Amino acid sequence: MSNAVPSRLGLVNATGTGYNDLFLKVFSGEVLSTFARENQMMDMTTVRTIASGKSAQFPVTGTIASSYHTVGNEIVGTAVKHNEKVINIDDMLIAHAFLGEIDELKNHYDVRSIYSREMGQALAKKVDQHLLQLVVLASAGSANITGGSGGSNVVDADCKTNATSMVASIFEAIQDLDERDVPTSDRYCVVTPDVYYQLANIDKLVSRDFSSNNGDFSKGQVLMVGGVRIVKSNTAVTAFTDQSASISGTNNTYNVDAQHVGAVVFHKSAVGTVKLKDLVLENTYDARRLGNLMTARLALGHGILRPESAVRIIAQ
């Protein structure tokens, strides 16, 4: 009895030994597209890419006061306060899976696309979680410059269960940002799905009588409150908990007790991201183990830049 001749799906023109040549592009595209689709917070922060090094410095400058000139007096300049914020690169963040060749040959459906989507989601969720926790930390942070402003919070005992109260608190948070001269553009409010759909039941946020393009009750959509984009984040369910334990492999502080947080309102200058290596994807056949190792990884770190640009709404 002769051996079967399997159709190797990853082999170009059924010749050679490159059994994964056709799989790699699909795998890479799936992970990249999933990461881009699932990741919400990266575009809401200040991002810098570095070619080498273990950290990046973000300069912080104070304000310059104005005054009236007295005729004849020499103009000598104003002393401007300076500081810096340093963000470290964390250890490599990875997602991986191993597929045994025999199992894949026996299997009757494609698992690579499923695994690649899961890997993209895993990386995106971890990045979003750290960034959201940092926004909470920023809202409790002190000023970078002596005499400057730090973060702030709005106390609203029923913000998680009373949408009308949450809206009032969001406006109060917006006012806090205004009073600290935080730019009005690129502001965001991140909430859990629970809070988001409560907001979608408020007529003022979805009715065309109040705004022609703000939301849609039939689609369960809320776009903005007070000029601030409302972002529904499932990752917030995890981030807005007690993450008080330190996280192995990180070189920045992300752990925070956020169990009372109902929402965060912030400007993109509140938190920064430093990338050393963008998303890298590999699909390698391991002859020693007769299977394929699928990996996705990136090297980056996150940190607080301007605490005055962050406000948390807490139910306490």
DSSP 201: T
Q: If DSSP states are collapsed to H, E and C, what string results for 138-154? A: HHCCCCCCCCCCCCEEE
Structural domains of the chain in order of their starting residue, each with its CATH number? 12-58+79-314 (3.90.1690)
Task: Supply the pLDDT for residue 11.
Answer: 58
d(CA 81, CA 143): 12
Q: Encode pLDDT of 249-264 as tens digits.
A: 888 989 998 999 999 9
Q: Encode pLDDT of 85-96 as tens digits.
A: 888 988 889 888
For range 118-137, the mean pLDDT: 91
d(CA 40, CA 184): 20
Q: Is the pLDDT of residue 18 over 70?
A: no
Q: What is the mean pLDDT of the chain?
A: 83
Higher-pLDDT residue of 213, 251: 251
Task: Supply the pLDDT for residue 173.
Answer: 95
Task: Supply the pLDDT for residue 82.
Answer: 67
Q: Is the pLDDT of residue 146 over 80?
A: no
Residue with tokens 């996280």: 247
Q: Which residues contact 283 (CB under 8 A, 6 or more apart)?
A: 20, 23, 24, 27, 28, 292, 293, 294, 295
d(CA 266, CA 192): 15
For range 241-256, the mean pLDDT: 86
Percent of the chain past pLDDT 70, that is, above it, reads 84
